Each structure stands twice: as structure tokens, then as C-alpha cells.
């Protein structure tokens, strides 16, 4: 008598990992998928395959896939902000040097990078329809603006020029940075990283000359 179901798929071996480690692996796999295929790369199967696990694991750790995407967003978001702030704090403790370091960090190879910015832009489009991601973005944005606000008002105090509304002015510099990121991401030939730095420095020069008083 023959076996009725002769070919039972052998179960794959696996390593057991802590929820934190596995979550991070899945989050990073999600980022790679988004980079490779944009929104089309956001699927439980694709991300699981990229991470080298089965799809069930995503539901196990995140419940639904939207949670994983939001987690990946936080991962990247925190990484970028931390990197910029770290470089700012590594600068000499003068307002001039600190603000300039913030600008230079924004155009440094680790951040001003096609892969990073492409992923970033895709996230922007996802934020709008995810309350969870929208909440993350709001706090992250306000953290950005707060940081710039401090840098700008320190510079103004140090050099003795006036700024009518520091928060709005910080919004403007942040917007300029984001806008340059976007422009370069969609059209890398439009300008070079050093051009971006120069344009931000010119913006700061306008500030110095009282254009925002």
C-alpha cells in the first residue's frame, strides 16, 4: 500500500528571535521593498520574502501590515532626525557653526541620497491616508521645526538681528530643505549637493540682512 500524500513539504528551519529584533528586521525589509518598488512593494508577502521569513510572521508581530509600514516610517524618520541632530551637536558650540552643521548634515551623503530620499517621498504619499503615520509625522515635523527654531533664534541673538516670527521662519527653512530634497529626488540633474548647501546659506544670509524682521 502506497502513501496517500507522499510529498509533504518539509518544514523550513528557522531561527527564533526576540520580538524587537524581528520587528526591526521586518521594518528594514519593508524599507528595502519600498525603495525597490514604491507603494507597489508594500505587501506582506513581498516584505516577508525580503526578510527571509513567511508572511504569517508579519501578522504575528504587527497584527496588520499597516502597522509594519508605520513602524518602518518611524524607523527611518528617527534615523534621519537623529543623524542631523548628532552632526549639529558635534559642531563647535557657536550659533553660526551649529546652524551651518545642520544645513551641511541635510546634504551629507548619508541623508542626501537617492535611495533615502526616494523612500522618504513614497512615505509622504502614504502618510495622508494613515492616521497612525500622520500622527508620527506631526510630532516628527514639530521636532524638526523646534530644532531649527532654536538654531535660528540663537543666531539672531548672537548677531543682533531681528526675526519677526521665529516659528514661521523655521517653517520656511524646513520647507526649503524638504523642497530641495524633493526636487533633487525627482530630478537629480537639477543641482548638486553643494548647490543645495549654497542655497540654504543664501537663505540664511537673507535672514541676517533683515528680510524676515
Partner DNA sequence: AGTGAAATTATACGATCATATAATTTCTTT
Partner DNA sequence: AAAGAAATTATATGATCGTATAATTTCACT
What is the binding site for DNA (CB under 7 A)? 8-19, 22, 42-46, 53-61, 63-66
Q: Which does 84 bind (CB under 5 to 8 A by kind): a second copy, DNA, none?
A: none
Between 60 and 138, whose beta carbon lies closer to DNA?
60
Long-range contacts, 144-151 (Cβ 8 Å, 24+): 144/81, 144/174, 145/170, 145/171, 145/174, 146/170, 147/85, 147/88, 147/102, 148/102, 148/173, 148/174, 151/88, 151/95, 151/98, 151/99, 151/102
**Near a second copy by CB under 8 A: residue from 75, 83, 166, 182:** 182
- For residue 131, the minimal CB distance to DNA (Å) is 14
Using CA atoms, how far apart are residues 96 and 109, in angstroms rounded to an integer?
22
Site for a second copy in 2-61 (CB under 8 A): 37-40
Burial of 175 (0-12, 13-18, 19+ CB in 10 A): exposed
First-to-last alpha carbon distance for the chain, in angstroms, is 93
Between 90 and 135, whose beta carbon lies closer to a second copy?
135
> CA angle 158-162-163, nearest 5°?
110
207 in contact with a second copy (CB under 8 A): yes
202 in contact with a second copy (CB under 8 A): yes
Using CA atoms, how far apart are residues 98 and 207, in angstroms rounded to an integer?
16
48: phi then psi, degrees, rounded to nearest 5? -60, -45
Q: Which does 22 bind (CB under 5 to 8 A by kind): DNA, a second copy, none?
A: DNA
135 in contact with a second copy (CB under 8 A): no
Size of the site for a second copy (CB under 8 A): 50
Q: Which does 186 bind (CB under 5 to 8 A by kind): a second copy, DNA, none?
A: a second copy
| Site residues (vs a second copy, CB under 8 A) | 37-40, 118, 121-129, 134, 137-138, 141, 145, 168-169, 171-172, 174-180, 182-183, 185-187, 190-191, 195, 198-199, 202-203, 205-212
Amino acid at each position: 500500500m502506497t502513501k496517500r500524500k507522499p510529498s509533504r513539504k518539509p518544514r523550513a528551519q528557522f531561527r527564533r528571535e526576540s520580538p524587537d529584533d524581528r520587528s526591526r528586521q521586518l521594518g528594514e525589509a519593508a524599507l528595502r521593498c519600498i525603495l525597490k518598488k514604491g507603494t507597489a512593494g508594500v505587501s506582506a508577502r513581498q516584505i516577508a520574502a525580503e526578510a527571509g521569513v513567511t508572511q504569517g510572521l508579519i501578522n504575528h508581530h504587527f497584527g496588520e501590515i499597516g502597522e509594519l509600514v508605520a513602524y518602518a516610517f518611524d524607523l527611518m524618520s528617527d534615523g534621519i532626525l537623529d543623524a542631523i541632530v548628532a552632526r549639529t551637536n558635534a559642531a563647535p558650540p557657536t550659533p553660526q557653526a551649529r546652524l551651518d552643521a545642520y544645513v551641511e548634515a541635510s546634504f551629507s551623503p548619508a541623508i542626501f541620497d537617492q535611495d533615502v530620499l526616494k523612500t522618504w517621498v513614497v512615505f509622504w504619499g502614504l502618510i495622508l491616508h494613515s492616521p497612525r503615520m500622520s500622527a508620527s509625522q506631526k510630532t516628527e515635523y514639530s521636532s524638526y521645526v523646534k530644532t531649527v527654531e532654536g538654531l535660528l533664534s540663537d543666531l539672531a541673538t548672537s548677531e543682533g538681528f531681528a526675526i519677526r516670527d521665529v516659528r514661521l521662519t523655521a517653517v520656511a527653512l524646513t520647507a526649503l530643505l524638504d523642497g530641495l530634497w524633493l526636487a533633487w529626488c525627482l530630478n537629480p540633474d537639477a543641482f548638486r549637493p553643494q548647490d543645495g548647501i549654497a542655497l540654504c546659506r543664501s537663505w540664511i544670509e537673507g535672514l541676517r540682512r533683515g528680510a524676515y524682521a
